[in-house]
Amino acid sequence: MSRPRQLAEPTPPPLDPAFQDPTRLRIMTMLCALEEGDEITERRLLELLGLAAEELQEELRTLREAGCVTTAEGTRGRIRGTWIGTTRSGRADFRTYVRTLEAHLVAGDGP
């Protein structure tokens, strides 16, 4: 008697390189914890993440070029600074990244 054939699990899609850097992953996790449409100052994000200003600016540039975040100088209420938020597509891409990462972990093949 032959054994039933097991179907192979489909291979998860590749991970988005925009989020693979650990610092960018931390930035997007922090930004996506905000309500959609909310922004945070660069200064506050630096404090929360414990990064050097140059490092944050470099990673934000990469995320901005990927269309994931927006940055704007300005005043909100009485607070002046550089305001950082996610784009709608950036949030969607990040959710997809997290689901894909989970699929890789479940499949046992790591990212």
Render pLDDT for 45-91 as a digit per residue (tens, 0 to 9).
999 999 999 999 999 999 999 999 999 999 999 999 999 999 999 99
Answer whether 98's CB lies under 8 Å from 75's CB: no
User: Confidence class of residue 10 from pLDDT cuts 50, 70 and 90?
Assistant: low
User: Confidence class of residue 27 from pLDDT cuts 50, 70 and 90?
Assistant: very high
pTM of the model: 0.81
pLDDT digits (tens, 9 = 90+) for 82-97: 999 999 999 999 999 9
The verdict on residue 7 lying in a domain is: no
For residue 32, give its domain range. Answer: 18-107
The verdict on residue 2 lying in a domain is: no
The verdict on residue 5 lying in a domain is: no
The verdict on residue 22 lying in a domain is: yes
The verdict on residue 32 lying in a domain is: yes
Q: DSSP string spanning the chain?
A: -PPPPPPPPPPPPPPPGGGTSHHHHHHHHHHHTSPTT--EEHHHHHHHHT--HHHHHHHHHHHHHTTSEEEEEEEETTEEEEEEEE-HHHHHHHHHHHHHHHHHHHHTS--
Per the structure, the count of domains in the chain is 1
Give me the CATH number covering residue 62. 1.10.10.10
